[in-house]
Structure 1
Amino acid sequence: MEQEFETYKLKVNRLFEQPRFIILSQEKDMDERKKTEMTLNIIKAVVVRFIKTILIKNKNIILCTSNDEITNYVKIGLLRYLALEDKANRELIEKNIEGLKEILKEVNRYNTYEEAM
């Protein structure tokens, strides 16, 4: 489980690189930039923790959220930093969110496959 978790964690980290760069490059004030970076790290940590919870396979854990709720949380969290007029960057971030959806589907498929064995 630990190896799979590290693999998915790397995928999520790669997925967050581009949005992080786009968002932080728009912040001019250093204090605001630090706050924004902390928020982005929290968003990423929520995703990573969700994946880890799925992979643990502990029957005593009840997931109170879904893939859709997690991706919506990420979408709102990332797009709030971009102006509505910034369509190019918003589209890039939307593509990354689609990538996140695929990763979460893959994690669920992996977990289902492992349970069947």
Structure 2
Amino acid sequence: MHLLVVEDDDIVRMLMVEVLDELGYTVIEAEDAAAALRVLEDPAQTLALMMTDVGLPDMRGDELAQRARELRPLLPVLFASGYAENVNVPEGMHLIGKPFSIEQLRNKVVDILGTA
């Protein structure tokens, strides 16, 4: 399964990608919303999940999620935020608070995708 990880912090993105890769997922990285939109707009690119930071330098995460849903209406979205208690998660989308453990990330992704 291909997962899109959108995170502007290089170190955080690298750690997320490493964890998801170890869990058996193929991860596509995007450092900002513009890069994510290029992936989302590519009809040849299959995606099972988009995981995005709430605070991106070029667009809010909820705005990116809305654009993603316009392009791919069935794509699950998982927000990652260090301020989880202050995030208003759009209906049908998911949230994980930073920092999170490998186990928490695995459980959340498995819960969303229904895979082990």
Flag whether TM exceeds 0.5 (same fold). Answer: no
Which structure shows the higher strand fraction? 2
TM-score, length-normalised on structure 1?
0.30
TM-score, length-normalised on structure 2?
0.30
